[in-house]
A and B are shown apart, each in its own frame.
Chain A
């Protein structure tokens, strides 16, 4: 966690209880009944969803058996954990699930169920040290202090921090540098990337490229895997396998008005 990145707001207007729709702890289906919120263009900082990215799932982890399913299916998940759940015997199980599914790209909130109603300190969200591997850049870190909120807004840029890969051998195995040109180009490409397959998993590659991948969890989806490697320089190529075993490939150069259309058509083809 990086408290230095926290911002303070004095707007303490609490979100209505219905915005959380937290279910009772004895409801075994709590995980399947929660809210999918839509991002607002004008954030209302008094509402918890204002701090969340688009298409965020609100969940409570009462039914741990269902947790795994949701972790895999939610494109960008926000897990609202009741503090009392964390303090009970299920805590280790819960954290084990988190590690297994590497949810550290997503948001993790800790909320005190006692304050889930319309108290001014509703967003008394308690963050905890939970896993050394958690990517701090992607954590929404809220802590209630009286009527104030501390928040750590998740970065919109999935390439945040990629400047560290501009040095050769960044992996200790002789990796090529990801140049500033490649990084800038990747940002342009990703800005026009269709969202129909969800958010890609992004990683630096040792050949100087930035590697995006989509692997649908839905086994009935036409697409098995889609990889899209950007760079080095102003080139990208997509390659994929369908569940039929068919392999496809689309190399491209540069960036033009057509780039967005090419990507859109590719994603439509792979989704249909």
Chain B
């Protein structure tokens, strides 16, 4: 069954994000500057998402061939008048992990007419949005070790999705909604 907006990504899928600064890859890893600023931001209120923060990316399973990935990266960067400097993707499956007390998920969030493979890396919990706070620094520190980096000519090394099971959409959505509600109650 095809994914619909708000569905969790299937186990084995790969989330990846386009890098638009050449200095955000250093010695084969992601420089922590890549996690500053608007890397994570609250979801649009009108979407009523069951998570508290998200980072934009794409799902490998929906991105087509590696050539398609490459073409999209260049087209995307061209559209925002930037250069394509590479990709980041998790070193290991992040969905279900807890990073600095935040529950991590990967959810399908297509942008109609623009990016049908769009997906968000999501964070549920008390997200430290205040930049340069200790909690934010801790989160940046934790995230910095979680991703691999690829230069544009290494795009071929982006792992394929190995989707073996249907995502537990109902259960995952319910869990996410419950977590979000609890978090809101806690303030």
The residues of A with any CB-CB pair to B shorter than 8 Å are 72, 99-102, 105, 131-133, 135, 170-176, 201-209, 211, 213, 215, 225, 227, 229, 237, 239-241, 247, 249, 251
Of B59-67, B77-85, B164-172, B177-185, which binds chain A?
B77-85
Q: Are B141 and A241 in contact (CB under 8 A)?
A: yes
B20 beta carbon closer than 8 Å to chain A: yes
In the assembly, what is the distance between CA of A140 and CA of B114, in Å? Answer: 43
A-B pairs under 8 A by CB, number: 107
CB-based contact B137/A249 at 8 Å: yes
Return chain A residues, CB-CB under 8 Å to B26: 102, 105, 201, 203, 213
- Chain B contacts with A in 2-48, Cβ cutoff 8 A: 20-29, 31-34, 36-39
- With A133-B85, A205-B36 given, can you name 4 additional A-B contacts, CB distance below 8 Å? A173-B38, A225-B144, A239-B137, A251-B132
A174 to B82, CA, bound (A): 12
Bound form: Cα–Cα A131–B36 in Å: 28
Cα(A171)–Cα(B37), bound, Å = 10
- Tally of contact residues, B, Cβ under 8 A: 36
Note all chain A residues with C-beta closer than 8 A to B29: 215
Residue of B nearest to A213 (CB): B32
Known contacts A132-B153, A171-B82, A215-B29; A203/B23 CB under 8 A: yes
List B contacts of A172 (CB < 8 A).
20, 77, 80-82
Cα separation A72 to B27 with both chains bound (whole Å): 8
Selected A-B contacts with CB under 8 Å, 8 pairs: A102-B26, A102-B151, A176-B37, A206-B38, A215-B29, A239-B141, A241-B141, A249-B137
B138 at the interface (CB under 8 A from A): yes
A203, B82: Cα distance in complex, Å: 16
A101–B38 touching, CB < 8 Å: no
Give which listed residue, A72, A170, A207, contacts B132 with CB less than 8 A. A207
Residues of A within 8 A of B81 (CB): 172
Bound-state CA distance A135–B22 (Å) is 9
For residue B128, CB closer than 8 A to chain A, the reply is: no
B134 interface residue (CB < 8 Å to A): yes
List of A residues within 8 angstroms of B137 by Cβ: 227, 237, 239, 249
Which A residues touch B152, using CB under 8 A? 132-133
Which chain A residues lie closer than 8 Å to B32 at the CB level? Answer: 203, 205, 211, 213, 227
Closest Cβ neighbor of B39 among chain A residues:
A206
Report the separation of the CA atoms of residues A174 and B80 in the bound assembly, to the nearest whole angstrom: 11
Task: Tell whether B131 is near chain A: CB-to-CB under 8 Å.
Answer: yes
Contact B138 A102 (CB under 8 A): no
Is B98 part of the binding interface, using a Cβ–Cβ cutoff of 8 Å? Answer: no
Given contacts A204-B23, A206-B39, A237-B132, contact A102 B28 (CB under 8 A): yes
**Inter-chain contact B25/A205, CB cutoff 8 Å:** no
Task: Collect the chain A residues with CB atoms within 8 Å of residue B21's CB.
Answer: 170-171, 203-204
- Contact yes or no, B36 A133, CB < 8 A: no
Find the B residue at minimum CB distance from A72. B27
Bound: A237/B82 CA distance, A: 29
Contacts of A133 in B (CB 8 A): 22, 85, 151-153
Candidate in B29, B32, B33, B138 with the most chain A CB atoms within 10 angstroms? B33
Chain A positions within 8 Å of B158 at CB level? none
Report which of B28, B31, B34, B39 forms a contact with A100, defined as CB distance below 8 A: B28
Q: Is the CB of A175 within 8 A of B140?
A: no
Q: Is the CB of B20 within 8 A of A171?
A: yes
Measured between alpha carbons, how far is A215 from B27 in the docked complex, in Å? 10
Chain B proximity of A158: nearest CB distance (Å): 10
Give the docked Cα–Cα distance between A229 and B140 (Å): 12
For residues 102 through 148 of chain B, which have their beta carbon under 8 Å from a beta carbon of chain A? 131-132, 134, 137-138, 140-141, 144-145
Top 7 nearest A-B pairs (CB, nearest first) are: A206-B37, A172-B80, A211-B33, A205-B36, A205-B33, A203-B23, A203-B33
Query: Could you tell me the distance in whole angstroms from the C-beta of B127 to the nearest C-beta in chain A?
Result: 15
Q: Once bound together, how far apart are the Cα atoms of A262 and B40, in whole Å? A: 32
* Cα(A99)–Cα(B150), bound, Å: 9
Q: How far, in angstroms, from A170 to B24 measured CA to CA in the complex?
A: 13
User: How long is the Cα–Cα vector from A175 to B29 in the complex, in angstroms?
Assistant: 21
B154 interface residue (CB < 8 Å to A): yes
| Bound Cα distance from A239 to B137, whole angstroms | 7
**CA–CA, A249 and B24, complex, Å:** 22
